[in-house]
Amino acid sequence: MAGPPQLSPRPARPNILRYVILVLVALIVLVGLVVLIIWLTVRPKRLRYTVESAAVHNFDMSTTQLNASFNFGVKAYNPNRHVSVYYDHVTVTVGFGDQDLAFGVIKPFYQPHKDVTWLNMDLNAKNFLLHDSVSKDLALEKAAGEMDLDLWIKARIRYKVGVWKLGHRTLRIRCSPVIVYLSKDKEFKRTACFTEV
Ligand X SMILES: *[C@@H]1O[C@H](CO)[C@@H](O)[C@H](O)[C@H]1NC(C)=O
Question: DSSP states of 116-144 as a string?
Answer: EEEEEEEEEEEEEEPPHHHHHHHHHHHHH
Name the residue among 81, 92, 87, 154 with its Cα closest to residue 117.
87
**Which H or E element spans position 38?**
helix 12-42
Shortest distance, position 105 Cβ to ligand X, whole Å: 21
Does residue 139 touch ligand X according to CB under 6 A? no
Phi, psi of 168 (to 5 degrees): -65, 145
Q: Residue 65's CB: how many other CB atoms inside 10 A?
A: 14
Does residue 127 touch ligand X according to CB under 6 A? yes
**# residues near ligand X by CB under 6 A:** 6
Query: Which stretch in 55-63, 117-125, 147-155, 166-174 sits in contact with ligand X by CB under 6 A?
Result: 55-63
Does residue 91 touch ligand X according to CB under 6 A? no
d(CA 194, CA 172): 8
Tell me which residues in 61-90 interact with ligand X (CB under 6 A).
Answer: 61-62, 65, 67
Query: Which stretch in 13-21, 56-64, 136-144, 150-158 sits in contact with ligand X by CB under 6 A?
Result: 56-64
Q: In this complex, which beta carbon is closest to ligand X, that of residue 74 or of residue 130?
A: 130
Residues that bind ligand X (CB under 6 A): 60-62, 65, 67, 127
